[in-house]
Amino acid sequence: MSANFPTPKAETVDTATIINKLWRERIETICSSVSTVMFTAMAVIPFLVLGIKVVHQIFDGYYKESWHITEWLINYEGGFVRRGLLGELLLQSHKNLGLNPYYTIVVLSFFLYLTLALFFIRSFRRTGLSLVVLPCAFFMGGPAISNEWVRKDVLLVLLFIGMVRLALSNSYKRVLAVNLLFIVALLVHESIGFWAFPMMIMLLYHGILGRVGSRNKAIALSLLLLSPAMLTFLMVLYHKGNIEVASAIWESWSAVSFPFQSYHDGIAPPAAIGGISWSLEKGVSYTRGLLSNFNDGIYGPLAWLFMLGATFAVTVNVGALKTVSVHQHEHIEDRDLLCSLLSLQLLSITPLFILGIDYGRWVFFWVTSTFSIYLLVPHAVLRDIFPTWVFGYSAKVTGCLDALIGRSKRTLYVMILFIGIPACGWSMGDYYKSTFIYLLLEFGTKMVKFAMWILG
């Protein structure tokens, strides 16, 4: 008699389930790895592209008559004038120490740009924020993309960071140190006064309020303690310069040879040196000109409003790109705080949008100053500084943005690819050449050309 043995169906099903599960886990791991590599490439390749751009710009050089160089050459040879501190130091260093002003400007600008980039890279990594936004045209990519890193802008942001750090210290000498650093910054370029004063007043106010108890007294004392910097601000605005001062400045550099120069005929001081003689009316006239800008059929003011709105939407949602998980409630609070800071700094910098059309530079000041505050000042301090109604406003703004574009990483990455910030005025050519997608395509094209050259 033969025995009948049952077929082990249950074991077969369990084995197949385990195998399928293992395959699914393997596929998910591969997809996750590919996604990580892609996001890493999105963060690394633009930095590489920007580095290559900066190196090319260094080798191409900057003419003595360019806006880049002349901004550093403004000095006090025609009398006290705004923006003259560094130019005077350069001139005296050349006369007494033999330092070459051109190479001093370029080398100093390079190390300042590198220092600021490293500050944000380290700060973003420490807080878990994604590095993807850093090389964008509205952030650290702007100076390299528009070839504006050989300007005083980066130095101003670094001085602002120093002022914020000093304002947070508990030393009784902090007010003196903040004023000294602020005065130096104002003598370098008066534009910092517009976007730095509000936050400096608020930080000093927070430190004083606990001692005096009265809000009105705290505000009055904060303004009083910053009065030396405020008087300096008014002084540099008053001594804005004229054609005689500009001519004396340009003449003081006439005997100094630069590696790149077009041998200006000396009839009129060029670029930034000539710019200090401009009247307020002339500066505002360029802004009025934008109101009739229809470059390539695109209305300039409307395009800028769109770019500013897109920049606001991406930067306020940068927490959604975090590389580490955070508690959802804390995440929302931080986003409302970032929205408040972005709004404050944008409001502070608005006068610059009226007085000049270097909009790419104003956006750079806006975003870098906002994140400097966000990364340096304890969030508990910032929540104490802002009135409650500000966070109510921020909640409404972020709520509207969520309803309009959502908060998915995919949407934010697509927006990052197509946000472009022209350096000056508005043109479609400058716009698309400053976008993330253009940088990636440009890099890919150069790699293909290089490969074709290698292969003959």
**Tens of pLDDT along 438-447?**
988 888 898 8
DSSP string, 83-128: T-HHHHHHHHHHHHH---HHHHHHHHHHHHHHHHHHHHHHHHHHHT
Query: Mean of the pLDDT values across residues 327-356?
Result: 83
| Count of beta carbons in the 10 Å neighbourhood of residue 347 | 12
Q: What is the pLDDT of residue 15?
A: 72
Q: Are 442 and 49 in contact (CB under 8 A)?
A: yes
**Partners of residue 79 on adjacent β-strands:** 77
Nearest in space to 188 (alpha carbons), one of 165, 163, 206: 163
DSSP state of 131: G
Distance, C-alpha 178 to centroid of its chain: 22
Cβ within 8 Å of residue 448, ≥6 positions away: none
Cβ within 8 Å of residue 204, ≥6 positions away: 167, 175, 178, 221, 222, 225, 226
**Tens of pLDDT along 11-67?**
444 676 777 767 777 776 776 565 555 556 666 788 888 999 999 999 999 999 999
Distance CA 360, CA 148 (A): 9
Nearest in space to 137 (alpha carbons), one of 51, 46, 57, 62: 46
**Tens of pLDDT along 86-106?**
999 999 999 999 999 999 999
**Tens of pLDDT along 113-138?**
999 999 999 999 999 898 989 999 99
pLDDT at 238 over 50: yes
Q: How many CA atoms are closer than 13 Å to the CA of 366, on its beta-carbon side?
A: 30
Nearest in space to 442 (alpha carbons), one of 46, 143, 44: 46
Nearest in space to 53 (alpha carbons), one of 170, 150, 144, 161: 144
The token pair at 74 is: 């403004």
Q: Are 310 and 415 in contact (CB under 8 A)?
A: yes
- pLDDT tier, 330 (very low <50, low <70, confident <90, very high otherwise): very low
Nearest in space to 88 (alpha carbons), one of 232, 265, 245, 233: 245
pLDDT at 107 over 70: yes
Distance CA 230, CA 243 (A): 26
* First-to-final CA distance of the chain: 81
Q: What is the pLDDT of residue 358?
A: 94
| Exposed / middle / buried, residue 351 (Cβ in 10 Å: 0-12, 13-18, 19+) | middle
Q: What is the pLDDT of residue 416?
A: 93
